[in-house]
Amino acid sequence: MRGIPSAGNLVAEVEGDIEDVQGVLKITRIRLRFRMTVPAGSREKADRALATFAEKCPAYQSVKGCIACTWEAEVTETP
Q: Find the domain containing 22 and state its range.
A: 10-77
Whether the full predicted model's pTM is greater than 0.75, yes or no, is yes
Instruction: Give a yes or no: residue 3 inside a domain.
Output: no
CB 74 within 8 A of CB 50: no
Residue 67 has, within 13 A of its CA and on its CB side, a CA count of 21
Q: What is the pLDDT of residues 25-55, one digit of tens each?
A: 999 999 999 999 888 888 888 888 888 889 9
Instruction: Give a yes or no: residue 59 inside a domain.
Output: yes
Instruction: Give a yes or no: residue 68 inside a domain.
Output: yes
For residue 64, pLDDT beyond 80: yes
Residue 67 has what DSSP assignment?
A: S
Instruction: Give a yes or no: residue 1 inside a domain.
Output: no
How many folded domains does the chain comprise? Answer: 1
We report the CATH number of the domain holding residue 64 as 3.30.300.20
Instruction: Give a yes or no: residue 73 inside a domain.
Output: yes
At residue 7, the pLDDT reads 72
